[in-house]
Chain A
């Protein structure tokens, strides 16, 4: 087991024209499961490949345990990697695929046999050892790829989107299996994915990258509840957070409120106590965010001041109903592939904006209905409209 430290890790292509990874600093503790997440092309796989030694490092350093490994060959880094396409050797049996690394290391045959069978036992592959990868299902291949990694008993697992080739159901199953396996083996793991559900459910901590720049690294719940900026807020969570351009106001007694379209919503004083930085924005426009699950129907909450919207799309999921309402507000859109400058306030025709609410499955709403909803005001998120950073201090 070992920790992994990335110090100012940078990767440029084309003589510096393209910055795939910029000044990435990360400390991954011994035995930790860290998920690197971000949209396509954000540099997460490049970062992983630099840890593996498959990609030359432009600047910065990688440490595995106490060893500076920038110039260490991949085979000497004591790592095992699971690739997106599994990279199983198609001409070898499952047994030989798993045993390959041990054979190369000239481990005695009976020892190889013992370890391969042990790994196969853990992954329930005992019956498939004589088959070739082509004769296995997607989930079994994925298991073989895992087997190949664990049989070496490495210090670090590196996984590059290992579940992205599986169908949705199998992905859920394998997600749980990998997380359980990692927990059981206690091996430091760096896991790359673009799937936020994987990021939220599997990792001890999540590192969110965008355009090669680390946006936030924290526990899944903190990433969700305390996003560092607009990009993180918009990227994590499904349906995505509702973001509006609002005016931040302060009454004579210091009680804060926001003007959302034509409505004024009073905020509890505690909001200002938690976010003293908001005081600087009095009378100015800011970005306010509210997650769909923090919106309820007014009739369920005893008639607090509510926002009225027209139901334009209803998605009944069985457990919940996702209601897309058009309300009187100015929406802010964050394009995930653009930079933070891509934040723009867009107005839907007639001065209305989309509001996505996760309502009870038993809500009797029909398309076109006018629905009153209430925002949980303690759960608002506030962001600077210029920088996109969350407003705290």
Chain B
């Protein structure tokens, strides 16, 4: 089993999944930018982040991030409504949009890495917070432009290791010190 997935294939899957969801479900055109890698260390951010855990022989995280204004707009398109503020419905809609994009992305990769299950989306909104997934693999980030707004779609996946299922009593070192 390879240690990392082919980056070109991952980028193509993120792009196709996002474009499909935006054109089919939201009726919004987005323009894909250049994909790039980003260390998985926590960084302060603002706006809305929706993250979904991926589990199987490979584990990781997929997610989307954008400003609150753009979240209101695309949630309005999804629910055929208008939102003056970031409320419960907007957060639910963003979780659902993340679910569709990451679900389509993981479907595209399953032929290569086997079945992957998705967790329930986690959604965070604020003006100064840090949201991070604790792993050692870089994110693969695919930016999309939509007018003056930007949507970030990103994912990271690495082969499953035993540490995922260790019990506390089996632990003698933090995960960061475990040699995989």
Instruction: Verify that A and B bind, or say they do not.
Output: no
Chain B residues within 8 Å of A, Cβ to Cβ: none
